[in-house]
Structure 1
Amino acid sequence: MAVHINNVTFDCADARALAEFWQVVTGWELFYDDDPEVLLGPSYPYDGTGFLFIPVPEGKTAKNRVHLDLAPDDTTRDDLVDRALAAGASVLGDFRADDGSGFVAMQDPEGNEFCIERGRHEVGPRRPRAIRLTM
């Protein structure tokens, strides 16, 4: 059996504002209507995995157990870090190394953690880090 991830869902205080932050970071398109939920996706017509923002009454209280690792397609890791900072993100930890490797751990305006890594075009060919297991 195979599945695909339809959306990554963010519980949030202000769905529209958080979706607009992520729109700046991802460059994706915003989809909304009179519904309080807001969808952000990579293209129109919307097809593939997107981000769904749902307003909830409670605030974030602990570190996320799952987070996003972002890698730019058309810019550099450092430019994407700057774009996220300008949109309202904050740095939790800067793990960039002198040789250009590493990542930056960040959080969005509502405290959701994410990391920004180098894009494939910055890294070059990689050897696989894991083997494929079959059941």
Structure 2
Amino acid sequence: MALTLAHTTIDSKDPYTQAQWWCELAGFTPKEGVRPGSDECYVAGSAGCTVLFILVPDGKTVKNRMHFCMRPEGRTQEEEVQRAIALGATVIADFRKPDGWVVLADPEGNEFCILSGK
């Protein structure tokens, strides 16, 4: 018997706002029941991944032990980094040398990377 990944869960102080933000950034689609004040908000990616934003009372205090690595499609890495910043992301570290990545944080401080387009 094998395990199948059902979804990735991200703790959040405001699941709805986080779900909306990630839908805007990554093109995720909100699943049924995503509305303001929800304790749980599911979103789905085009590749079949599902992310659950779940209400927790405390904010993030340490570096993520796991994070998303996103690869641009149809835009350059720089365009995607600038778009993420315009949406409210913060640059944490920049390792863009040839074929590198940029580490950013979403509005609640969760790290993610934007890889080179290659």
Instruction: Tell me the SS of whatever aligns to 2:82.
Output: helix
2:105 — aligned with what? Answer: 107
Identity of matched residues, %: 41
TM-score (norm 1): 0.76
Q: What runs of 5+ residues in structure 2 fail to find an aligned partner?
A: none
- Change in Cα spacing, 1:103 to 1:56, as seen in structure 2 (3 Å) is same
Q: Indicate if the aligned counterparts of 1:6 and 1:48 stay in contact, CA closer than 8 A.
A: no
Q: Distance in 1 between matches of 2:6 and 2:49?
A: 5
Q: What runs of 5+ residues in structure 1 fail to find an aligned partner?
A: 124-135
Q: Distance in 2 between matches of 1:78 and 1:2?
A: 39
Q: How far off its partner does 1:106 sit?
A: 0.6
Q: Distance in 2 between matches of 1:2 and 1:74?
A: 35
Q: Distance in 2 between matches of 1:90 and 1:72?
A: 18
TM-score (norm 2): 0.86
Which of structures 1 and 2 has the bigger CA Rg?
1
| Residue 69 (structure 2) pairs with residue 91 (structure 1) | no
Q: Distance in 2 between matches of 1:77 and 1:107?
A: 16
Q: Indicate if the aligned counterparts of 1:96 and 1:103 stay in contact, CA closer than 8 A.
A: yes
Q: Distance in 2 between matches of 1:79 and 1:117?
A: 12
| Residue 45 (structure 2) pairs with residue 42 (structure 1) | yes
1:75 — aligned with what? Answer: 75
Q: Distance in 2 between matches of 1:27 and 1:62?
A: 27
Q: Distance in 1 between matches of 2:2 and 2:80?
A: 32
Instruction: Tell me the SS of whatever aligns to 1:38.
Output: strand
Deviations 1:6-33 (A, max 9, x none): 2111110000111111111111111242
Structure 1's consecutive aligned runs of 4 or more residues displaced over 6 angstroms after TM superposition are none
More strand by share: 2
Q: Indicate if the aligned counterparts of 2:96 and 2:116 stay in contact, CA closer than 8 A.
A: no
Deviations 1:10-65 (A, max 9, x none): 1100001111111111111112426421111125xxx8321110011111111111
What one-letter code is carried by the residue in structure 1 that aligns with 2:85?
L
Q: How many residues align?
A: 115
Q: Distance in 1 between matches of 2:24 and 2:83?
A: 7
